[in-house]
A and B are shown apart, each in its own frame.
Chain A
Amino acid sequence: MPASSLANGPSAPARDGRGPILAFRRVSKFFGEIGAARDISLEVRPGEFLSFLGPSGCGKTTALRMIAGFEQPTGGDVFLDGERVNDIPAHRRPVNMVFQSYALFPHLNVARNVAYGLLQRSPRPSRVEIDRRVGAVLDLVRLGGFGHRRIWEMSGGQQQRVALARALVNEPKVLLLDEPLAALDRKLRRDMQVELQNLQRRIGITFILVTHDQEEALSMSDRVCIMREGRIVQIGSPTDLYDRPASRYVAGFVGKSNFLEGTIVTASPECAEVKLASGVRIAAARFGEAMRLAPGDRVTVAVRPEQVLLMRQRDALPADIAVGCESHVLNRIFLGEHTEYVLRSDALGEFAALAPRQSERAEKPFQPGEIVTAGFRAEAALVLGSD
């Protein structure tokens, strides 16, 4: 079937302004034998902040470059604001990109860099209009008065904001950000995360961010799309991904988890009883994909370290705790606002627990060698398929 026949076919998203601003329909991209994107389908609402998150080589950058027009999909269709753009070259797509290396033109000053996109328009806006818009966008990124500077006179953080201004001045339908903060140091990166998020809320342009930094993706995005080997593994809000990961991969990639291997013994709609390798039975929550699992199936139970409660007296644990077991404290790692404990018990094997600073103030910190009672609630134990 010729792909172009799909342009106005039933699968084309509506172009009434309320449909998705960006849509992937079964998009694949192969470089020879290597699949950088495999059968990706996705819709992005106008004004949304979406992140592609995954390790390097997962296909997230390829997905972004297909939106920009630098790569052509080998299968499927890409729609921008209801229009199929597969065959539209990069210079005619109403999107703009902030490059990882910023890609600022070294032979032009800051103002000429920012004006570059406006100068390509036909008809070309007037000199006055260009100056006005460049000035306004430089003010927006807090670089007012820097227009005459040369690029190499700017610091890394300033160059990053010039790159942002150069893209935003064109008022793109979608702004693409390719690891834009990767080159900045940690503190500056945190500041820019907040700044980017505020900016996006203010101007309402759809942002699509590619990152390998889960903290960055979780803190800034409305939705996060987790990728692995060219496929979307899970897509959802940051809290969804954290509280209801679809797989062991997601639970391990987004935040930290303790993984307990076991077999389902009994299953009710919301809950399952899982027999662990040690023979201990625990109650755990079921949702999503795990609803399909039946007694006898091998599963992984994930428990977030901060959900593990540690007590010196067993009866000090809350009454609704699902599991409580004697554990040896192996190690104590002070992390500032938290303290991480590494423990071992007969029932759970080796596992980690995270205690907030406040609870440590109330009770004396546990010391390596000490025996404590560790427990977690049933709803904090998540049943996941073993993938």
Chain B
Amino acid sequence: MRWYVVAIYVFLYLPIALIVVFSFNAGRYAMDWQGFSTEWYFKAFANPFAMKALRTSLVVALWTAVLATMLGTLAALGLERMQGWPRRAFDALIYVAIMVPGVVIGIATLIAFVTVFDAVNPFLAGLFGDAAPQLAMGLPTIIGAHVLFNLAVVILIVRARFAGLDRSLIEASEDLYATPFGTFRQVVLPMIFPAILASFLLSFTFSFEDFIIAFFVSGPDSTLPIYIFSSIRRGITPEVNAIGTVVLAASLSLLVIAQFLLRDRNARRPAPDKAA
């Protein structure tokens, strides 16, 4: 490797490596190495605020992954059947949704939620009086905003797999008396299932580690990234490093599994030789 390649890797990964290393620091201050210890991990897991934020993040990520995967898969299958300009328009919009900066999505969804709530809440109050439910920022709004940007990711992944699906398999299933739904259940779904599972893991990861969008729409609930952000204002402690390392390990594992599911499965199969 050339020296500048090494330099780039060092620049990219040294800070991350430092966080991992100093999460095992026995000392009180983040950048002052006092010896190896795992006590900050125990402290982090004993911290009720950190654990509440972790639970919030897990709930948000799980719901986001479930909803985005379900809706995204259905949208991908629907888009496959579309023709002409509506399809091109949707294709373009999907890429836009991925490229729009998180700040913009955060502001836009915040304004949208506030506008809708301001319009709906007086109506609910009029309907139910004092006992009326109030729509407000919280878990559902974070999940909604996260589903929004993960939808595009799911659609792209599932569609790539679906486009690579051999059309003659679908015809073969029809030819063998399977109804359209039977073909979907027995051929299409098993074939695109790795992509669906990968999209689930990716949207879980993206939602779990998102700070920017959640920061705008979280309301009183804080997710783990928001908790970390607010706690470092009181100084970077090894406890924050420990939490960061756990999040990193979990995210990386999920990404590796997703990558494993998405790779070309035929690559490891021996090509059938022509002779019997």
Contact = CB atoms under 8 A, between A and B. Distances in A.
A157 B274 contact: yes
B166 A101 contact: yes
Interface string A105-137: 111000000001100110000000000000000
B175 A155 contact: no
B11 interface: no
B274 A183 contact: yes
B276 A157 contact: yes
A100 B274 CA distance: 14
Contacts of B269: 152
A272 B187 CA distance: 62
A331 B266 CA distance: 50
Interface in B181-237: 182-183, 186-187, 190-191
A89 interface: yes
B21 interface: no
B276 A188 contact: yes
Given A91-B179, A170-B176, A155 B276 contact: yes
State which size class the interface on B falls in: 20 to 34
Given A91-B178, A105-B187, A155 B272 contact: yes
A92 B180 CA distance: 11
B169 interface: yes
Interface string B150-181: 00000000000000001011011111111110
Nearest to A120: B177
A97 interface: yes
A107 B190 contact: yes
A184 B272 CA distance: 11
Interface in A126-167: 152, 154-159, 166-167
Given A101-B166, A103-B168, A156 B273 contact: yes
A382 interface: no
Interface centre among A69, A117, A159 (most CB of B within 10 A): A117
A166 B176 contact: yes
Given A107-B191, A152-B270, A158-B276, A116 B171 contact: no
Contacts of B183: 91
Contacts, number: 89
Contacts of B179: 91, 120
A95 B176 CA distance: 9
A247 interface: no
Chain B, interface SS category:
helix
Contacts of B276: 155-158, 188
A96 interface: yes
A308 to B, nearest CB: 38
Nearest to A191: B276
A56 to B, nearest CB: 17
A277 to B, nearest CB: 47
Contact of A185 (B171, B190, B274): B274
A91 B172 contact: no
B45 to A, nearest CB: 41
Contact of B169 (A97, A105, A156): A105
Contacts of A116: 173, 176, 178, 186
B8 interface: no
A92 B274 CA distance: 34
A219 to B, nearest CB: 19
Contacts of A101: 166, 168
A99 interface: yes
B172 A159 contact: no
A90 interface: yes
A262 to B, nearest CB: 47
B272 to A, nearest CB: 5
A70 interface: yes
Interface centre among B175, B269, B275 (most CB of A within 10 A): B175
Given A116-B173, A152-B269, A184 B166 contact: no
Contacts of B191: 106-107
Contacts of A95: 175
Contacts of A154: 272
A152 B272 contact: yes
Nearest to A95: B175
B166 A157 contact: no
A152 B269 CA distance: 7
Contacts of A69: 174-175
A22 interface: no
Contacts of B186: 116
Given A105-B187, A152-B272, A157-B274, A89 B174 contact: yes
A158 B270 CA distance: 15
Contacts of B273: 155-156
Given A91-B178, A92-B177, A156 B274 contact: yes
Given A99-B168, A154-B272, A156-B275, 5 more contacts: A99-B171, A105-B173, A117-B177, A166-B176, A167-B175
10 contacts: A91-B183, A99-B168, A101-B168, A105-B173, A107-B190, A116-B173, A116-B178, A120-B176, A155-B273, A157-B274
Ordered nearest first, which 5 A-B pairs have the shortest CB separation? A157-B276, A117-B176, A103-B172, A103-B168, A120-B177
